[in-house]
Chain A
Amino acid sequence: MKNILKIMNLNLYYDEFQALKDINIDIENNKVTALIGPSGCGKSTFLKCLNRMNDLIEICSIFGEIEYKEENIYKPNYDVINLRTKVGMVFQKPNPFPMSIFDNVAYGPRCQGIKEKKRLEEIVISSLKSAALYEEVKDRMKKSALSLSGGQQQRLCIARAIAMEPEVILMDEPTSSLDPIATLRIEELINELKKKYTIIIVTHSMQQAARISDNTAFFLMGELIEFNKTDKIFTTPLQQKTEDYITGRFG
């Protein structure tokens, strides 16, 4: 299985407004896929379809199919909870819970019923290590997560997602609220993480997309304009609109 996620004829409406128009895209295993496009083109909306976070929005209706490991996640009685443990998410603004650093990372496993202290400790430590945060917080695991800096908080959120042992990690502009140094650390981390996980990242920065992604999808007004290898998109785009966007002629 080369493509872990297959999106077929995806149409999405907020009430009357069509936010996604007939999207078809295959997401490759263990690759970083970047979603770019001007603001309001539907990148976040698309991302939230992949772990069904759009279910929470009452006015949102979805048509088409999304296959995760060859199973349609929108079919009736599909186990959404299980999907969300396998397809983790990191949000635009770091949103750690107002709890200790330890409890933040242990939260997901605990919700899955893991109670054993030793087991939880192992998970927390290895997740923090994977998120390149362990060295910075190992002496203050019991401290509030909100005492961390923005960049640390975002890496904590990544650790929190990793603790669920997901296969896919969705990231919605994870560095947009961070300073350049914290951004660089997250980018290095993403390069590290793609060895183990499939990553789909929304970014408003084309340089970031070029630096970290293998494939890039360009969205415009709810449509997928072009999807290709990242170097192709940035060197020889097939569509005029893509070229206009990456050369900064609009958006």
Chain B
Amino acid sequence: MKSDAELVDLFKKGNQDVFRQLLERYEKKVYNLAYRMLSNREDARDISQEAFLKAYFALPSFRGDAAFSTWLYRIATNLCLDLLRQRKNKVVFSLDEPFQTEEGVLERQLPTCEDGPETIVEQREFQRLIQRLIHTLPAEQRLVLVLREFQELTYEEISQTLECSLGTVKSRLSRARSALGKKLLASGEPFAFPHRLKEGKGGNRV
């Protein structure tokens, strides 16, 4: 399998068909990034489409300073932020709407971790809860959190994607994690902290 850089190179040399490989490689990542940021499948689809379209036409001028993936995430990230700015205070996220149609989808993503919510119902509830709580974070905190915990980027990659300093990444991530932790505790959901329940340490739940 060719590396991203090799594919980009081929693309630049005129073999534009290789774009499909890049697309297949990153489609899910970009879609998930957009979904976690926007909490809405319709928008996630639109943003993914626009991101790859932009990437296709801008690729000839991609300089390779950062990895292709970072560059692509930057495009997607900015599109998400633009959209969030546009809808500003409009709350588009609805608890039931995005999940009603995707039960089949969720079944396919049961976590492998044994400590996780055990049943499909629990898993679905858990997914909704997390997404709902993530959505209450300020956009820039959510972004860092999504890039780190869902996209599993390194601090370095996040700072390149967001074009900000490592220090900013650290502090935003710190704030996002601890805010989310508090929200999880405050939610009082039984599966919010399964460890605590099992070990009987749920005493400090609000």
The answer to whether A and B interact is: no
Binding site for A on B (CB under 8 A): none
